[in-house]
Amino acid sequence: MQSNTVTVLSHNCHRFAPMTPDGPLQPALPPLLNREQAILEFNRRVLAQARREDVPLLERLRYITIVSSNMDEFFEVRFADAIEALRSVPGASPQRDALRSVAAEAHALIDTQYALFNDELMPELQRKGIVIINHAQRNEAQRAWVDRYFEQQVRPLLVPVGLDPAHPFPQVANKSLNFIVRLGGRDAFGRASSIAIVKVPRALPRVIALPRELCAAGEQGFVLLTSVIRAHLETLFAGRPVESFSQFRVTRDSDLEVDEVDVANLRQAMRTGLTTRHFGEAIRLEVVSTCPEALWRFLLGQFDLPEAALYRVNGPVNLVRLNQLIDQVESPELRFPPYEPAWPERRLPRGQSILARLRQGDVLLHHPYESFDPVVQFLRESVADPDVLAIKMTIYRTGSQSVLMDLLIDATRRGKDVTVVVELKARFDEEANINWAERLEAVGAQVVYGIVGFKTHAKLLLITRREAGPRGQTLLRRYAHLSTGNYNPPTARLYTDAGILTADAQLTADADAVFHQLTSLTRVRSQRHLVTAPFQLHRRLMQHLAAVAQAAAAGQPARVVIKVNALTEPALIGALIAAAQAGAEVDLIVRGACMLPPGIPGVTERVRVRSIVGRFLEHTRVLYFRWGPTDDDEVLYLSSADWMGRNMFRRIEVAWSVRDPALRQRVIDECLVPYLHDRRDAWQQAPDGSYNRIADDGPGAQAALMARYGVIA
């Protein structure tokens, strides 16, 4: 991948919008795109990966499972929020019509997903000798093995519940798999109770490999747990025929509702809330397509759901669990080639002190192309260094197993002052974060939970070290790591992110001020190089966009390139459109939901929106603004924040300008330019919010960066 200069981002600009004494006229904003539909559009792009013949077969199946996981979260969070908002809007309304449209699109997307799974991927897997064998297809030896497996591993964990007034419909947890069964005859007490529920234990594997000796030559055979239970349903109800049955799963509203103002200890309140999260309001009911109407109507009634909330799927309920099949198949050629991120040897030689290296200048890390291990080593060295006095760190998502958390515990035990800001409300990571908070508190670390009403989404690690000054005096020097991504080494191999290791006195002082505010809750001085939300970030971005618009209207070079995960904040969208209407060229690289409609003649024709969907999840947030002809007329930021209302106003976020010219150029060359020219994994957004893939066998940004940095086996 060739190196490109900053001028690659610059376009010739000319006067486009009339001026007023106060600057460019405010644009007439087009209707913004629907956010929920934009999320569904993103999932269509992910699903399209499962159709790509240049993607290995098992990875195509993995994209199917990713869409299922994404759709679960869509219903648990986004769709649930939309339904909650509509409860205050009685009768017919545009919002209600929009919600119906979104629901119809969700149905169509899931239908497409299952059609792709059944008609393309399963036949392809079978041709490769990977077979999911249902009960009717099993030979005598396979059935005997499945019978033994059921009796030894499954039956002891099943608790079938026959419904009657003394046995009401059981609590069904969010996303748990169950069977509903209609029975004939009478029960042991002579009654005609006909409906029973069988919960599928979550502890059991959903995909079970058959012994190789029971499979045909060259085949790898698997059975699904649901198929095993289905084949033995009648044995659970001795003497009663099973007249009909179906798998079912309910998706519930999973946002934790905790009144942060009225609780004395947020951690204890969150721990209590986790016990009820799995039983929130029902949002979606999934059954198999063969489910009799009487059964799905009975279930809809139990969960108080309308028929529009019913999803009849042609295949296994919950395709997410097919990840277990991908992991068990012994065919490495059907997966992506293993990729090993590179240690940045030239900039950070192994075996040398990272802290000493940082006194010479900043080090930029670009994950997953470069290893996350230097960040771990940075903390490990600090823990072992007797001159390091204090360590401060924010935690958003780190996982249930974390070498970084273990190091913080070790640092506390060594007598260092350890302060950890743990975000307890990191969605779906609450339990892991609570557990880490309790472990850290148990050894004496200072643990705080951010600011009431604001999630702490900033990614900061700050080290304070005692050192000798130039005249022999003792001084304290700070070192820091700032990142666009989480402190989670496993996901650092899957997500694209950028981070900087620095000993810059001004930047580390700004980071220390952020920690001071998070712990003391007091007003702090305005930071010089670290811009924070909810205080300055939105205003600073609006100021930059206004400067770009003014330069464009004056006929000077004007350029905006933004790479984020989502763009939904109306004021920022309006400012982007104003800059474009003034004559600036605006390129937006938005992985997920984008509510700005590009390419509308006379309105947003200077705005281009593209999305990159490839092997890695695009997660890097990079912001570039140019408003004049000199180097002083441009700025480039790395940031933890997406351009959404929640990030700007309801989260603690950071953005920092990359001031070193060489590092700034490297961010441009690696995080922006390749993505603007990607012809392999890129999608172009149309004015109506739909996307068209740009696929002409041209270069791909991710492939080029992998080739530059990593080792592909």
Residue 365 and residue 324 share a domain: no
Mean pLDDT in residue range 226-243: 93
Residue 313 and residue 216 share a domain: yes
CA 551/CA 414 separation, integer angstroms: 55
Give a yes or no: residue 547 inside a domain. Answer: yes
Q: Which of 470, 490, 525 represents a domain boundary (last residue)?
A: 525
Mean pLDDT in residue range 12-36: 56
Residue 67 is part of a domain; what is its CATH number? Answer: 3.30.1840.10
The phi, psi pair for 555, rounded to 5°, reads: 80, 15
Has residue 19 got a pLDDT over 60?
no
Give a yes or no: residue 33 inside a domain. Answer: no
- Number of structural domains, the chain? 3
Give a yes or no: residue 667 inside a domain. Answer: yes
DSSP state of 16: -
Provide the pLDDT confidence category of residue 91 given band limits of 50, 70 and 90. low
Mean pLDDT in residue range 97-105: 87
Residue 566 and residue 493 share a domain: no
Give a yes or no: residue 321 inside a domain. Answer: yes
Has residue 10 got a pLDDT over 50?
no
Provide the pLDDT confidence category of residue 427 given band limits of 50, 70 and 90. low
34 is in an annotated binding site: no
Give a yes or no: residue 92 inside a domain. Answer: yes
Q: Which helix (H) or strand (E) holds 387?
A: none
Provide the pLDDT confidence category of residue 100 given band limits of 50, 70 and 90. confident
Which range among 330-344, 465-479, 699-713 shows the weakest confidence by mean pLDDT? Answer: 699-713
Tens of pLDDT, residue by residue over 401-417, are 899 999 999 999 999 99
Residue 696 and residue 611 share a domain: yes
Q: Tokens 């629901």 identify what position? A: 103
Has residue 267 got a pLDDT over 60?
no
Q: Tokens 């309006």 identify what position? A: 574
Provide the pLDDT confidence category of residue 147 given band limits of 50, 70 and 90. very high
Residue 508 and residue 589 share a domain: no
Q: Provide the pLDDT for residue 207.
A: 97
Q: Which of 468, 501, 525 represents a domain boundary (last residue)?
A: 525
Mean pLDDT in residue range 372-377: 97
Give a yes or no: residue 173 inside a domain. Answer: yes
Has residue 684 got a pLDDT over 90?
yes
Residue 388 and residue 278 share a domain: no
CA 618/CA 113 separation, integer angstroms: 22
Mean pLDDT in residue range 685-709: 92
Q: Provide the pLDDT for residue 672.
A: 98
> Please, are residues 201 and 213 in contact by the beta-carbon 8 Å criterion?
no
Active-site positions? 457
Q: Provide the pLDDT for residue 258.
A: 53
Q: Provide the pLDDT for residue 430.
A: 75
Has residue 261 got a pLDDT over 60?
no
Give a yes or no: residue 32 inside a domain. Answer: no
CA distances 36 to 47, 98, 334, 706, Å, are 17, 9, 34, 33
Residue 347 and residue 301 share a domain: no
182 is in an annotated binding site: no
495 is in an annotated binding site: yes
Q: Which of 313, 334, 355 represents a domain boundary (last residue)?
A: 334
Residue 440 is part of a domain; what is its CATH number? Answer: 3.30.870.10
What are the start-end ranges of the H helices in 482-563?
505-520, 537-553
Percentage with pLDDT > 70 across the chain: 90
Has residue 14 got a pLDDT over 80?
no
Q: Which helix (H) or strand (E) holds 113?
A: helix 94-116
Q: Which helix (H) or strand (E) holds 278?
A: none
Strands, E assignment, 31-132: 130-132
Residue 199 and residue 57 share a domain: yes
Give a yes or no: residue 480 inside a domain. Answer: yes
The phi, psi pair for 590, rounded to 5°, reads: -120, 115
Residue 443 and residue 507 share a domain: yes
312 is in an annotated binding site: no
Q: Which helix (H) or strand (E) holds 262?
A: none
> Please, are residues 113 and 67 in contact by the beta-carbon 8 Å criterion?
yes
692 is in an annotated binding site: no
Tens of pLDDT, residue by residue over 562-606, are 999 999 999 999 999 999 999 999 999 999 999 999 999 999 999
Range of the domain at 553: 6-26+532-712
Residue 431 and residue 320 share a domain: no
Residue 156 and residue 87 share a domain: yes
For all residues of the chain together, what is the average pLDDT? Answer: 89
Mean pLDDT in residue range 541-558: 98
Q: Tokens 């059991």 identify what position? A: 204
Residue 304 and residue 345 share a domain: no
Q: Provide the pLDDT for residue 2.
A: 38
Q: Provide the pLDDT for residue 16.
A: 26
Print the SS3 string covering 640-688. Answer: CCCECHHHHHCEEEEEEECCCHHHHHHHHHHHHHHHHCCCCCEEEECCC
Provide the pLDDT confidence category of residue 348 given band limits of 50, 70 and 90. very high
Provide the pLDDT confidence category of residue 711 given band limits of 50, 70 and 90. low
Question: How deeply is 616 buried, as exposed, middle or buried, from its count of CB atoms within 10 A (0-12, 13-18, 19+)?
Answer: buried
CA atoms within 13 A on the CB side of 83: 18
Has residue 190 got a pLDDT over 90?
no
CA 682/CA 679 separation, integer angstroms: 6
Q: Provide the pLDDT for residue 598.
A: 98
Has residue 45 got a pLDDT over 60?
yes
pTM of this prediction?
0.91
Tens of pLDDT, residue by residue over 291-334, are 999 999 999 999 999 898 999 999 999 999 999 999 999 999 99
Q: Facing residues of 242 across strands?
A: 183
Provide the pLDDT confidence category of residue 83 given band limits of 50, 70 and 90. confident
- Say whether 198 sits in a helix, a strand or coil: strand
397 is in an annotated binding site: yes
Has residue 424 got a pLDDT over 80?
no
